[in-house]
Amino acid sequence: MGNRLSKIATRTGDNGTTGLGDGTRTDKDSVRICAIGDVDELNSHIGLLLSEDMPDDMRDELVGVQHDLFDLGGELCIPGYQMIKEEHVEKLDGLLAKHNATLPALTEFILPAGSRAASLAHVCRTICRRAERSIVTLGKTETIHDHPRQYVNRLSDLMFVLARVLNRFAGGGDVLWQHERKSRKETKAEYAAKAEAAAAEAAADAADEE
């Protein structure tokens, strides 16, 4: 392992293939490698998120998620191997319940916006969904365990909740989506209010002239 890590450029992938953990080789654009790449990209973006200010407990939890994702990549790299198990999914269920309990109920859709940390959490959420799609696609052609798919599904939900928590941590709140029809109604209401105010002002001016 030490020799493998010390020699980064091996040139063995120059032909467009890469080695799996079981010693076999596969194309770099294979479904399995795409799934591994999506998980790796997700882990990297969580690392970027961790460079932002956040509650200490959340930071520790996300570092734990990074280790889980590294294990998940290892599982995907070795066909038939298992590293992500039910307890990993249950851990995310617990974190979801913990953080969601601190938030008000949602009555509107929210935009992926707000503080930088919250926005990065939303980026992690969307990459997590892509990783989930890749794992689902892989499962259609090869036998894989259920827990990796369940883990990333739950993780995307957690990132949504953490984005809301991070907006509040930064002193803000949810950025609500305003439906087009709702916006038009608000514009008409504002126009009516201005027209009413203008009419009242005109009436007052007329009274003064009398």
Query: Which residues is 26 bridged to in the sheet?
Result: 18
| pLDDT at res. 1 | 42
For residues 100-135, b (16+ Cβ closer than 10 Å) or e, as one string?
Answer: beeeeeeeeebebebbebbbbbbbbbebbbbbbebb
pLDDT of residue 16: 76
Q: Report pTM.
A: 0.79
pLDDT in tens, 122-171: 999 999 999 999 999 999 999 899 999 999 999 999 999 999 999 999 99
Over the stretch 61-100, which tens digit does the pLDDT of each residue have?
999 999 999 999 999 998 888 999 999 999 999 999 999 9
Could you please state the CATH topology (level 3) that the domain comprising 15-176 is classified under.
Hypothetical Protein Ta1238; Chain: A; (1.20.1200)
In which band, very low, low, confident or very high, does the pLDDT at 2 lie, cut at 50, 70 and 90?
Answer: very low
Query: Burial of 164 by CB count in 10 Å (0-12 exposed, 13-18 middle, 19+ buried)?
Result: buried
